[in-house]
Amino acid sequence: MKMLDKKLLTTNIEKIAEYDFENNKVFGSAYCVIQEDETIYKNCFGNISVSKSNPVTENTLFRLASMTKPITAIAALILIERGQLSLSDSVTKYLPEFQDVHIVQVSSTKDILDLGIAKNDITICNLLTHTCGIGCEPLKIDRMTAEDKKTIDNSVKFFLNSGLDFEPGTKEQYSGTGAFDVLVKIIEQVTKTDYYSFLKKEIFEPCGMSNTTFIPTKEQWRNIIDMHNKVAGENTVGKTTDNCIFEDYPCTHYLGGAGLTSTLSDYSEFAKMLLNEGKTPSKQLISNKTFSLLCTPYVPKEIMRGYQSWGLGVRVITDEEYKNLPVGAFGWSGAYGTHFWIDPKNKIAAVFMKNSLFDGGAGNESARNFERAVNNSFAQ
């Protein structure tokens, strides 16, 4: 295990934070780095709005977008630990309507081609590893109406009626919301409770995540950072839909793939739990054996080329060609710029928060700079 140099880490992170401000990439940002059980670095920069009077703190709320997915994966693993779910279970065991679902493709000219009934069952593992063919095709997703987005049930019905995008298990294509909405519906059926209540009881409370929510209070809404955008090189407030955390989905639609808002403090507690293989200050959420399922690479290289594979709701680094993180590191990002990873080899958890329409997603520059800043901070 290589140890981080605190002084060097501070210098490196402050450089990249300054770079983001100089290049109009953020209104505000927040960073946390933990090694073993010690918080090596935690700091916040800038403001939650264009106003200079509201500084970002570790309790400022950020839209997580797809950093919701690892939380949903842990929810599924809790049920797997209890024998209520299995990764190999067919979706039809819980949702019989997915029996004999068709593969339906849409061409660039929007012609619809029905390829017939899928041969392979969709499994719980497929839902968590972007290999199910549900909700991957933008031309289909663009047809979703406000009514389709209103509830989990409506969303799942939309994706079912839209057909699969490919034969399950034969291809990898990212599912932003569809696959995880199907999983949430299954979780609600198994637990006989709404998904948000399940998360609060089983994950948020034991982790101490009191400010992580689908439905912000009035006070929390005031503490959500403005969405950053950049137009003609200048900062501007990006447009968001009123009373929505992710795009134009209502807050009451508990999106398994994108719907939560959280703070640096809260998500760092979640990351610390992952670093400790499922253990929180108050309880062990899942056993080490069950936890190992999270960061196992499931998608073979013949399907997913490159330096990474999908674990359960996380990417896993599988090749040394990726220089920022070691093989075995895992984590994910959000469409609005949030980013985190767990490095089991060096016992590091790192969390970065920003919200931007200009520079978000897994490849966003701020996130990659953060990875390099940490990677370049090991003691010599």
Query: 218-235, pLDDT tens digit by residue?
Result: 999 999 999 999 999 889
Which residues have CB under 8 Å from 276's CB, separation 6+?
Answer: none
Q: What is the mean pLDDT of the chain?
A: 96
The runs of H, that is alpha helices, within the chain are 6-22, 69-81, 124-128, 138-141, 152-162, 178-191, 195-199, 205-207, 218-222, 264-275, 288-291, 365-375
Judge whether 278 lies within some domain: yes
Residue 108 has pLDDT above 90, yes or no: no
336 is in which domain, residue-wise?
A: 6-56+216-249+264-375
Judge whether 52 lies within some domain: yes
Domain total of the chain? 1
Judge whether 107 lies within some domain: no
Dist. CA 215–CA 207, nearest whole Å: 19
Dist. CA 106–CA 166, nearest whole Å: 11
Residue 110 has pLDDT above 80, yes or no: no
Judge whether 94 lies within some domain: no
| Domain CATH code at residue 348 | 3.40.710.10
Judge whether 78 lies within some domain: no
Burial class (CB in 10 A: 0-12, 13-18, 19+), 305: exposed
Judge whether 361 lies within some domain: yes
| Confidence category of residue 106, pLDDT binned at 50, 70, 90 | confident
Q: How many CB atoms lie within 10 A of CB 224?
A: 18
Range with the lowest mean pLDDT among 6-15, 156-165, 226-235? 226-235
DSSP per position, 88-104? T-BGGGT-GGGTTPEEE
| Confidence category of residue 111, pLDDT binned at 50, 70, 90 | confident
Token pair in block for residue 36: 């073993």
- Contact assessment for residue 206 and residue 283, using Cβ atoms and an 8 Å cutoff: yes
Query: 24-68, pLDDT tens digit by residue?
Result: 999 999 999 999 989 999 999 999 988 778 999 999 999 999 999
Query: 238-288, pLDDT tens digit by residue?
Result: 999 999 999 999 999 999 999 999 999 999 999 999 999 999 999 999 999
| Confidence category of residue 316, pLDDT binned at 50, 70, 90 | very high
Judge whether 103 lies within some domain: no
Prediction pTM value: 0.97
pLDDT recorded at residue 112: 85
Judge whether 132 lies within some domain: no
